[in-house]
Structure 1
Amino acid sequence: MRRTGSIRVESQQLSVQGLQIAMQVAGEGPPLLLINGMTRSQQSWKPFTRELTGRTIVTFDAPGVGDSPNALLPLSMAGHAALAVAVLDAAGLAEADVLGFSHGGAVAQQLACDAPDRVGRLVLAATSCGVGATPSRGRAVLSGVEALADEASWQFADALGLLWHSLAISSWSSISFLGAITAPTLVVCGTRDSVVPPANSRVLARRIPNASLVLLPAGHDLQLAEHATALA
């Protein structure tokens, strides 16, 4: 354990299903699990989390990103959601609010479907339903085509890791189960997001019960510090 200023920070390597997953727990208060975009490590949340107080922040690196080595074979989206459950277990949390950004928003949707008892409130930021997303540019980022260009400042994924993530999302869709999500859900997008345009967030907000939609005067990168209060 270490402290950054007065903030408690615990970092560890979690061993699950033969994978080594880097994770971090910081702060104190109601827990919030953050799930990264496709090419971003957990360090990409730092500008965002510095603006949050009174929360326990849980982050992790997916396989092939940041400090987590690649998986030998690609995980399914259900497999990625299972990793998120394992991270909550390792943090000693029965339930947490969950915020997923971009590709992480797809994982968060799967998590809310597969383990509804582990998700308090759900925030889906700059994301889509996967296959069937509208317009097609929204699908491009989640399949990795545009992710590197948009997230160039956070390129912590190696080529194989990016390929595995792309394969996981390439045939995935949440359309069939969005109506079964029970967590109170906030869908957030930037009005200037050309990577996952607002039409995708409107689809999510319409299909998820008890969901509300917030449009911010922003682009795709909702991990910026200025958006912390609106999202969390």
Structure 2
Amino acid sequence: MMEVGGRTLRVAHWRLGEPADHPPLLFFNGIGANIEAVAPLAEMLTERAFIMFDMPGTGESPDPSVPYNPFTMCWTAAQILDQLGLDVVDVMGVSWGGAMAQHFALQYPKRTRRLVLAATTAGMLMVPGNPAALTKMANPRRYIDPEFMNEHFATLYGGADKDGSAHQKDSHIGRLKPPSPRGYLYQLIAMIGWTSLPALPFLSKEVLIMMGGDDQIVPLVNGKILNAAIRNSHLEVINDGGHLFLLTHADECVDLLRTFLDGPETQAELSRAA
């Protein structure tokens, strides 16, 4: 638990302080998701430090006392990096957290080396997903009722027919902890009216966009919109992946992440570093 900018937040980090040839990775989670939901990804990226925190009212972080927005929460994330003694990081976000990751890179360009956006959108200017999935996504039973989640998993997340998906599904359900009603509400209202689209053409970072071809919540076309708006971006599609492809297709995703994050520095990055 860390005191950060007047908030108490639960922060997790892996391999921090160990010798590494790669910058740490700052990760922004999806809406309502706790640290444990994405811990398997952090554990697989053994060659780099990984930092993640529970948003106010999710996981073990206490309820927020006042609403927040992307600017204030990205400032809070920067304060966490300061307390951990970190300067430049790679930044990654999934779904709701992908919007936060975009905002962080735009707000703190000198602290962001490369950016990874997974299953996400440009905010309010997005193409909505399957209505059946969206209505079930908004139902708090998906956090507290394993039978509800099990019954509607394919509708919620897509990509459920892949070999081994049953194990991944059960493992994911077992790691979820429901957010508080206030925590979930404040995450929803934080993004009201927010979009990155006008600013994305000015984003000069190297960006990897990862999308699931069977994502019922964030359709693939949203990744194509991001790819068209960001000049130094590359789109990778997990063809049979749903909204949780980072977990159901973990090996494939980790290979893509390593190829991108460990790739040679571009001339623009070398110029900024100089």
TM-score (norm 2): 0.73
Contact conserved, 1:47 with 1:223, CA < 8 A, in 2? no
Query: Does the 8 Å CA contact 1:128/1:204 hold for their aligned counterparts?
Result: yes
Tell me the equivalent position of 2:223.
201
Alignment coverage as a number of residue pairs: 217
1:53/1:131 Cα in 2 relative to 1: closer, same or farther (>3 Å)? same
Alignment of 1:155-174 (within 5 A): 155-174=177-196
**Deviation digits for residues 11-44 of structure 1 (CA, Å, limit 9, x no counterpart):** xx22122210111221132211111101111111
* Cα distance per residue 1:121-161 (max 9 Å; x no partner): 100000001111014659x96xx737956488324311110
Q: 83, 106, 110: which is aligned to 1:90?
A: 83
For structure 1, which runs of at least 5 residues remain unmatched after alignment?
A: 1-12
Cα distance in 1 between the residues matched to 2:187 and 2:205: 25
**Which residue in the other structure is 1:131 paired with?**
124
Percent identity of paired positions between Structure 1 and Structure 2: 31
Aligned equivalent of 2:47 = 54
Quick one: distance in 1 between partners of 2:192 and 2:231?
A: 25
For residue 145 of structure 2, what is the aligned residue in structure 1?
none
Measured in 1, the distance between the counterparts of 2:36 and 2:203 equals: 29
1:78 has 2:71 as partner? yes
Letter in 2 for 1:52: L
Q: Which amino acid aligns with 1:192?
A: D
Say yes or no: does 1:220 pair with 2:208: no
Select between 212-221 and 38-47 the one with higher mean Cα deviation: 38-47
- Stretches of structure 2 lacking an aligned partner (at least 5 in a row): 143-148, 150-155, 158-171, 259-274
Distance 2:130 2:228 in 1: 20
How big is the shift at 1:77?
A: 1.3
Alignment RMSD: 2.1
Which AA in structure 1 matches 2:244?
Answer: D
* TM-score with structure 1 setting the length: 0.86
Structure 1 residue 23 and structure 2 residue 11: aligned? yes
Counterpart selection for 2:138 from 141, 145, 155: 145
* TM-aligned CA deviation for residue 50 of structure 1: 2.3
Query: C-alpha deviations, 1:69-119, integer Å up to 9, x for none?
Result: 111111011112112212211221111101101111000000011111111
Q: CA deviation at 1:191?
A: 0.5
Instruction: Give the counterpart of 1:45 among 11, 20, 38.
Output: 38
Query: What SS is found at the alignment partner of 2:196?
Result: coil
Shift of 1:229: 2.5
The separation in 2 between residues aligned to 1:164 and 1:191, in whole angstroms, is 29
Q: Match for 1:182: what amino acid?
A: S
Deviates more, 1:190-199 or 1:49-58: 49-58
Cα-to-partner distance string for 1:170-209 (whole Å, 9 max, x where unaligned): 2211112111212110010010101101000111111012
Kept in 2: contact 1:186–1:212 (CA 8 A): yes
The structure with the greater share of residues assigned to strand is 1
Counterpart residue number, 1:184: 206
Classify the secondary structure of the residue corresponding to 2:191: helix
1:203-222, Cα deviation, whole Å (9 max, x unpaired): 11110120110001311003
Question: What is the aligned partner in structure 2 of residue 8 from structure 1?
Answer: none
Which protein is bigger by CA-based radius of gyration? 2
Contact (CA 8 Å) 2:14, 2:42: kept in 1 or not? no
Q: Is the 8 A contact 1:25 1:91 kept in 2?
A: no
Q: Which residue does 2:269 correspond to in 1?
A: none
1:231 aligns with 2:272: no
Which AA in structure 2 matches 1:228? V
Q: Report the equivalent of 1:63.
A: 56
